[in-house]
Amino acid sequence: MARLDEVIDQGTEVGVISDTHGLVRPEALDALRSCELILHAGDVGSPEVLDELEQIAPVRAVRGNVDRGAWAVGLPLRDVVEVGGAMIYLMHDIADLDLDPVAAEFAVVVTGHSHKPGAERRRGVLYLNPGSAGPRRFTLPIALARLRISGDRCRHEIIDLG
C-alpha cells in the first residue's frame, strides 16, 4: 500500500474550446468527457453550446466578436480562472491582451479567434489557442485542447477532431 506522500497528484483536467459558432460536434463532447472544467474562448455562437458543455463540466466562457444578443451580454470579455495553483487569463482575441501576463502572474493565457490551434511558452507563460471546434474555416483543422494542471504546473495537449 502506498504511503500518502508517495501518491502522485494527477492534477485537474481542463478542456479548452473556442470558435464553436453554434456547433457542438459529438467528437468535441467525447474529447471533453474526462474534464473537470471547460473553458470556452469565445465565438460561442448560441447559448445551446454552453448548455451542452455544462452537461459535462462547469463552463467558464468569454464573449467573442460573433457573440451578440441578450444571451451573450452576460459573458465577460475577459475572465480570470484559478485552477489549483495556476492562474489562467481567458479572452477571445490575443490582439486585445491588455496586461503583462508575467507581471500579473498568469501561468496560461487562453485565446481563440484565429481558428489556428497552437501553443507557445513565452517568459514562462503558456499561450494556448485551442483552434476552432466549430464549422471548418478554409483548410484549418478542427481542434480543441486540454490542460492538465497540477499545482502551478500546466501541461497541454491539442486534439485534432478531424
Task: Give domain limits for the chain.
Answer: 11-160
CA distance 78 to 91: 5
pLDDT per residue as tens digits for the range 11-57: 899 999 999 999 999 999 999 999 999 999 999 999 999 999 999 99
102 pLDDT more than 50: yes
The residue-averaged pLDDT of 128-136 equals: 96
What are the grid coordinates assigned to 10, written together? Answer: 494527477
CATH number assigned to the domain covering 11-160? 3.60.21.10
| β-pair type (125-129, 108-110) | parallel
Contact 39, 60 (CB under 8 A): yes
Q: Where are the beta strands (DSSP E) in 84-124?
A: 86-91, 108-110, 118-122
How remote is the C-alpha of 162 from its chain's centroid? Answer: 18
CA angle (36 as vertex; 117, 142 as ends), nearest 5: 25
pLDDT per residue as tens digits for the range 3-16: 444 344 578 999 99
Enclosing H/E stretch for 52? helix 47-54
